[in-house]
Amino acid sequence: MVQRAQTHAPRSPGVTRQLPVFAVIGVLSTVAHLGLFTALRPLLDAQLANLVALLVTAVANTAANRRFTFGVRGTEGAARHQLQGLVAFAAGLALSSGALALAHRTLSDSAHVEIGALIVANGAATVLRFTLLRMWVFRGGGPRTGEGLSSPPVGADRT
């Protein structure tokens, strides 16, 4: 059996496979975030309700993307992935908190305005989150295909 020299870095799963999965998880996370925000809003001010709702959904979002978008299984690296996911959370929090503050300052603090501001901010945060997860948190992770690749992906079960 002849082995071929590998002259390029192994390819991670294609963005064309990852984007639809990421989008479904993102929509579900956004709906959960907005639902939790709406439930908490009568009890908390907008910024604190957003913080709690986003934190809860960010942890679940990172776990779901780890498994389904990037194909990383097992517990190896899970804590590190969650910590790195919190960086993406912080970016999303900055965007959504800024959107809420801007909406309150220029428009109103009505529920419709707040939800609209969060939807816009979540859209921008989603692009940033996908980029951070793909290029930093899960770079090189997930199932790979191609000749000459012999090592399993980072964090994958080795069974």
pLDDT digits 0-9 by tens, 21-65: 999 999 999 999 999 999 999 999 999 999 999 999 999 999 999
Please report the pLDDT score of residue 38 as a whole number.
Answer: 97
Of the spans 6-10, 49-53, 69-73, 145-149, which averages the highest pLDDT?
49-53
Please report the pLDDT score of residue 140 as a whole number.
Answer: 63
pTM, two decimals, is 0.74
Sorting pLDDT into bands at 50, 70 and 90, what band is 118?
A: very high
Please give the mean pLDDT across all residues of the chain. Answer: 83
The answer on pLDDT for 142 being more than 80 is: no
Sorting pLDDT into bands at 50, 70 and 90, what band is 109?
A: confident
- Rounded CA-CA distance 66/128 in Å is 16
15, amino acid identity? V
CB 141 within 8 A of CB 12: yes
| Geometric angle at alpha carbon 35, from 45 and 31, rounded to 5° | 130
Q: Can you give the length of the chain in residues?
A: 159
- Rounded CA-CA distance 138/14 in Å is 13
pLDDT digits 0-9 by tens, 80-103 = 999 998 998 999 999 999 999 999
